[in-house]
A and B are shown apart, each in its own frame.
Chain A
Amino acid sequence: MEKILQFPWQVPFGELSLRLDSLSLIFIVAVFILVLCAGTYAAGYMRQYRGKRPLGLHIFFYLLLSSALVFILLADNVILFLGAWELMTISAYFLIVFQDDDASVRRAGFIYLIASHCGTFLLILMFFLMAHHAGSMDLTLISHAGFSPFLAGIIFLLAIFGFGVKAGFIPIHIWLPHAHPAAPSHVSAVLSGVMIKMGIYGICRVLWTINVLPDWCGYLLLLIGVVSGVMGVLYALGQHELKKLLAYHSIENIGIIAIGLGVGLLGRGHQMPFLAVLGFGGALLHVFNHSIFKGLLFLGAGAVIQKTHTGQMDQMGGLARSMPLVSLLFLVGAMAICGLPLFNGFISEFIIYFGLFQGLFHLPLQGAFACALGIIALALMGSLALACFTKVYGTVFLGEPRHPGIQGGQTPALMLAPMLILGGICLWIGLFPQTMAKMAFSAGAYLSHSQISTLNMGNIFLPLSFIIYGILLFLIVVIFLAGLRWKLLRGLTIPLRETWICAFSQITPKFQYTSSSFARPIVDFFKGILFFKREGGEVKGNFPLKTSMASSVHDAVEEFLIKPMYRRLTVLSKKLDINRIRYTQMYLMYILLYLIFLLAWKLK
């Protein structure tokens, strides 16, 4: 399915050429749903800032971001694409720095801006390389040009790094964990739900444009997925701040998507259209699913933070009693992101697993090995995500408040309604995946340049329907057992007591496990690859007095790669500083001379 719309445009090499195909369709559906839901939520959430902040400006940039997202997805021309890309980057920057009186927010915004532009630089290089080779700025025309393996490889690498900055692949993800907690919650939802997916969309578009890629590209994508996924969830486990944790989880899910794309690419390279459709389709369905449940989680986190005024999980607790609906919806999101049955995350992960197993059976030896690695990584990610979200749900919503100031309260209906819709979509896809799966598979077929009608898609739809029967059976058993329990307990008055805590008489909430202590064994196990810092906590003397302990997990990439590089650059620029001319007039003269040179060159 393709729809193309063309208008003349006054920009050199540009043409207002729009195109809607199965690939952009699935992204556009996600954008529309999430932007609408988060926008409705914002109407309730931003009420607290009324009269204190320029809300009109904020909404202006929100709308600008939404339209930029749609234009990126529709652009069929390189110039139009890059223009919309830049519009998205800038408007997102203004949305992130909404609370600009906070220095850390300004810093986060700045990191985001610099990282994004480094990525855009590579993208400009990549697109011009493509356009130069094909002799056209039109993406459809570029897709008809053949690329040599060398050139295709270069373009693929540029795409991975250029789009990877936006998507958040592991060594180049550094803006993500800064920007997401700094932004207001509905903005985080849009950033994490759909904006980082534009990086994935860009990579997909490049994969579509260049039909034949060297073999190593698929392996590289799979490897990037494995590394991003596992490291993302490990960093998430180490976080104390709710929204920062969710930000790292986005990296994990981008990893899952990259694994799917990698398998798809391997399938396409080995002329196995079914495998390609499974990989690409699973990845694209996960793109959609992730925008729904991650949006839901960020909106839920916003509702919590609005009441508690802190994102520190180690201070929270017991919010399920004062905010029952928010906690239930957060639980839906948490179960969906862990890929547990009943919700949508499981469906897309199942398709990716299925693809990986197909790859294990049918690919040559090195491909089978890569697929085995992918399966293990997915299993590890799944159980680590489970550990991470039981930690979040258990410490934020269950137990007792760990700090006296923590209390929930009524959440306005305007904020609850969008969360209900997103939660409903999670359940809908979890129980009736046919519609969205078909959409994702047709996008996958489009990406793998194969006809879906020639493939036996029953091979995946049959297991999917069995999965649904299994889940329904599970629900029936749950209902039956709940009824049984009700019947057994009927007529008895159920006593309520304090939690037994080794016969201590003075019970305080401080006895509880915190989120940090919960994650400790896992973080400790992986401390070889995480940058884990622990201070204090030693017991001194026979009668130890008050002591304190602090532990934190830092981003190894940031500490060991980005910061030293930045320090070198500062030293270098200091050195270059000596040659700087300190008069503005001189610079003006240089500009004038350069213009004259250009004129003379052109007139020649």
Chain B
Amino acid sequence: MMFIVFSILSHWLIVLALSPLFAGIIAKIKAFFAGKKGPSYFQLYFDLRRLFMKNCVYSRSTTWVFRFAPIVNLAAVLVLSLIIPLGSFKAPVHFSGDILLAAYVLGLARFFMIIAALDTSSSFEGMGASREAFFSCLSEMVLFMNFITLAFLTHSISLSTMIGADIPMSWKMAGTVLLLVVGSLFIVLLTENSRIPVDDPDTHLELTMIHEVMLLDHSGVDLGFMLYASAIKLFIFAGILVPIVYPVQTGIPLLDTLIFLGGMLGLSIVIGVVESTMARLRLNRVRNLLLIAFALAFFGFVVKMWKG
């Protein structure tokens, strides 16, 4: 019992400590490509500290839902982070079906995000909420298609096993399948975390915004919770992708953790490069991108079925 509590707390400590840095690295890379010096790697830590000190401002239209949504959002990603293995730090929670809990806890957070946006009675936020609801339908379908393919490959529905020890073996046996899954999951990562080419995390005030516009009316502590939650969410999705792409396991705890962190660094560079070199897609193209991601995962499944 004590051990589980300890491992949960240490897991949270790592996630809470590293996730803003991960977002900071991406921001730095984007600044580099734009020819700017850019904010410090630790800018998000300063931002969060400042926001936690500040007071909130609320609209008269809002109810308790609006105040509650950031809490639910942060709590959801924190619970979600427990099923992700981080290098040699095994996931504290793993059981058959944990991916379903993860997907639906994420759904819970999304539910509250959307109704909080509608709570403000602003047409801006309504727009964002509507788009978020639509694109998340597609991205959730893609996510589940990936789960199916990975589950079919590993005969397990626990994330720790699906992206765990068998992955190096699977690359030899079914490299094509994993390649397709990686491509598909990468698109899901970009969509779910509102990255270019789907969305732009830096601007809240454009009519084409999807997810980001829902942060528009949050302020102070609430905004801090929201920003922290999105940083952690990005970290989690990267944490799912990295063990598949860097399937190196040495058995030495320190080395494994270093390899994992190196992988995370590499992935943040890739995300930064993608964000810097691509333009944002027109809004009605985003769904095509997601359908492509679905097709990739589906082909992975078909290939696996065909090869047996």
Q: How far is the CA of A522 from the CA of B93 in the complex (A)?
A: 35
B107 — which chain A residues lie within 8 A by C-beta? Answer: 338-340, 382-383, 386
Q: Is the CB of B95 within 8 A of A463?
A: yes
Q: Is the CB of B144 within 8 A of A390?
A: no
Q: How far is the CA of A393 from the CA of B126 in the complex (A)?
A: 13
Q: Is the CB of B221 within 8 A of A501?
A: no
- Please encode chain A, from 484 to 521, with 1 for each CB lying within 8 Å of some chain B CB and 0 for all others: 01001100101111111110000001011100011111
Q: Is the CB of A341 within 8 A of B221?
A: no
- Please encode chain B, from 130 to 172, with 1 for each CB lying within 8 Å of some chain A CB and 0 for all others: 1101101100110111011001100101000000000000000
B95 — which chain A residues lie within 8 A by C-beta? Answer: 462-463, 466
Chain A, 390-419, CB within 8 A of any chain B CB = 390-391, 393-395, 398-400
Q: Is the CB of B122 within 8 A of A375?
A: no
> Contacts A399-B120, A497-B58; is A346 near B134 (CB within 8 Å)?
no
A382 — which chain B residues lie within 8 A by C-beta? Answer: 104, 107, 140
CB distance from B72 to the nearest CB of A (A): 6
A320 — which chain B residues lie within 8 A by C-beta? Answer: 63, 65
A342 — which chain B residues lie within 8 A by C-beta? Answer: 108
* A387 contacts chain B at the CB level, 8 A cutoff: yes
* B31 contacts chain A at the CB level, 8 A cutoff: no
CB distance from A550 to the nearest CB of B (A): 19
Q: How far is the CA of A469 from the CA of B1 in the complex (A)?
A: 13
> Contacts A488-B221, A494-B57, A509-B121; is A353 near B131 (CB within 8 Å)?
no
Partner of B111, one of A369, A384, A390, A518: A390
Q: Is the CB of A341 within 8 A of B123?
A: no
Q: Is the CB of B119 within 8 A of A394?
A: yes
Q: How far is the CA of A459 from the CA of B105 in the complex (A)?
A: 22
Q: How far is the CA of A410 from the CA of B72 in the complex (A)?
A: 29
Looking at chain B's contact residues, the main secondary structure is helix
Q: How far is the CA of A400 from the CA of B123 in the complex (A)?
A: 12
B203 — which chain A residues lie within 8 A by C-beta? Answer: none
> Contacts A390-B115, A400-B121; is A368 near B71 (CB within 8 Å)?
no
Q: How far is the CA of A361 from the CA of B118 in the complex (A)?
A: 41
Partner of A360, one of B61, B78, B151: B151
Q: Is the CB of A341 within 8 A of B122?
A: no
Looking at chain A's contact residues, the main secondary structure is helix
When C-beta atoms are compared, the residue in chain A nearest to B105 turns out to be A341
When C-beta atoms are compared, the residue in chain A nearest to B64 turns out to be A320
Q: Is the CB of B75 within 8 A of A478?
A: yes
- Please encode chain B, from 79 to 122, with 1 for each CB lying within 8 Å of some chain A CB and 0 for all others: 10010000000000101111011011101101100110111111
* B236 contacts chain A at the CB level, 8 A cutoff: no
- Please encode chain A, from 364 to 384, with 1 for each CB lying within 8 Å of some chain B CB and 0 for all others: 010011001001100110111
Chain A, 430-475, CB within 8 A of any chain B CB = 459, 462-463, 466-467, 469-470, 473-474
Residue of A383, A400, A512 contacting most chain B CB atoms (<10 Å): A383
Q: Is the CB of B74 within 8 A of A376?
A: no
Chain B, 29-71, CB within 8 A of any chain A CB = 52-53, 55-61, 63, 65, 68, 70-71
> Contacts A390-B118, A395-B118, A477-B78; is A353 near B100 (CB within 8 Å)?
yes
When C-beta atoms are compared, the residue in chain A nearest to B283 turns out to be A521
Q: How far is the CA of A462 from the CA of B97 in the complex (A)?
A: 10
> Contacts A376-B148, A399-B119, A502-B124; is A386 near B111 (CB within 8 Å)?
yes
* A232 contacts chain B at the CB level, 8 A cutoff: no
A389 — which chain B residues lie within 8 A by C-beta? Answer: 111
Q: Is the CB of B130 within 8 A of A393?
A: no
A338 — which chain B residues lie within 8 A by C-beta? Answer: 107, 111
* B267 contacts chain A at the CB level, 8 A cutoff: no
Partner of A511, one of B74, B121, B145: B121
CB distance from A356 to the nearest CB of B (A): 9
Q: Is the CB of A398 within 8 A of B124?
A: no
Q: Is the CB of A499 within 8 A of B130?
A: no
B126 — which chain A residues lie within 8 A by C-beta? Answer: 512-513, 517-518
Q: Is the CB of A485 within 8 A of B130?
A: no
Q: Is the CB of B217 within 8 A of A383?
A: no
CB distance from B28 to the nearest CB of A (A): 29
Q: Is the CB of A390 within 8 A of B114?
A: yes
Q: Is the CB of A500 within 8 A of B217?
A: yes
Q: Is the CB of A384 within 8 A of B137?
A: yes
A498 — which chain B residues lie within 8 A by C-beta? Answer: 59-60
CB distance from A195 to the nearest CB of B (A): 29
* A335 contacts chain B at the CB level, 8 A cutoff: yes
Q: Is the CB of B124 within 8 A of A470?
A: no
Q: Is the CB of A379 within 8 A of B155?
A: no
Q: Is the CB of A513 within 8 A of B127?
A: yes
Q: Is the CB of B133 within 8 A of A387?
A: yes
Q: Is the CB of B124 within 8 A of A350?
A: no
B221 — which chain A residues lie within 8 A by C-beta? Answer: 485, 488-489
* A208 contacts chain B at the CB level, 8 A cutoff: no
Q: How far is the CA of A150 from the CA of B188 in the complex (A)?
A: 47
* A357 contacts chain B at the CB level, 8 A cutoff: yes
* A354 contacts chain B at the CB level, 8 A cutoff: yes
- Please encode chain A, from 313 to 333, with 1 for each CB lying within 8 Å of some chain B CB and 0 for all others: 000011011000000000000
* B235 contacts chain A at the CB level, 8 A cutoff: no
B55 — which chain A residues lie within 8 A by C-beta? Answer: 489, 492, 494-495
B140 — which chain A residues lie within 8 A by C-beta? Answer: 379-380, 382-383
* A59 contacts chain B at the CB level, 8 A cutoff: no
B74 — which chain A residues lie within 8 A by C-beta? Answer: 477, 481
B280 — which chain A residues lie within 8 A by C-beta? Answer: none
Q: How far is the CA of A393 from the CA of B125 in the complex (A)?
A: 15
Q: Is the CB of B123 within 8 A of A501?
A: yes
> Contacts A372-B148, A390-B111, A489-B55; is A499 near B61 (CB within 8 Å)?
yes
* B14 contacts chain A at the CB level, 8 A cutoff: no
A467 — which chain B residues lie within 8 A by C-beta? Answer: 97, 101
Q: Is the CB of A380 within 8 A of B119?
A: no
> Contacts A394-B129, A395-B118, A477-B78; is A357 near B151 (CB within 8 Å)?
yes
Q: How far is the CA of A495 from the CA of B60 in the complex (A)?
A: 9
A399 — which chain B residues lie within 8 A by C-beta? Answer: 61, 118-121
B148 — which chain A residues lie within 8 A by C-beta? Answer: 360, 372, 375-376
Q: Is the CB of A513 within 8 A of B118?
A: yes
* A591 contacts chain B at the CB level, 8 A cutoff: no
Q: Is the CB of A518 within 8 A of B61?
A: no
CB distance from B136 to the nearest CB of A (A): 6
B22 — which chain A residues lie within 8 A by C-beta? Answer: none
Q: How far is the CA of A346 from the CA of B130 in the complex (A)?
A: 24
> Contacts A466-B93, A473-B79, A498-B59; is A379 near B151 (CB within 8 Å)?
no
What 17 additional pairs, Cβ within 8 angstroms, besides A382-B107, A463-B97? A318-B61, A360-B152, A375-B147, A379-B103, A379-B143, A398-B65, A399-B121, A400-B61, A462-B95, A478-B71, A481-B71, A494-B56, A494-B57, A495-B55, A501-B124, A513-B127, A518-B126
Nearest first, the 5 closest Cβ-Cβ pairs linking A and B are A513-B126, A394-B118, A399-B121, A387-B133, A379-B144
Which B residues form the contact surface with A (CB < 8 A)? 8, 52-53, 55-61, 63, 65, 68, 70-72, 74-76, 78-79, 82, 93, 95-98, 100-101, 103-105, 107-108, 110-111, 114-115, 117-127, 129-131, 133-134, 136-137, 140-141, 143-145, 147-148, 151-152, 155, 157, 216-217, 220-222, 225, 287, 301, 305
A-B residue pairs in contact (CB < 8 Å), sample of 30: A320-B65, A341-B105, A350-B97, A350-B100, A350-B104, A354-B100, A361-B151, A361-B152, A361-B155, A365-B305, A375-B144, A383-B140, A386-B110, A386-B111, A387-B133, A391-B133, A466-B93, A473-B8, A478-B75, A485-B221, A485-B225, A489-B220, A495-B58, A499-B120, A499-B121, A511-B122, A511-B123, A513-B129, A517-B126, A522-B137
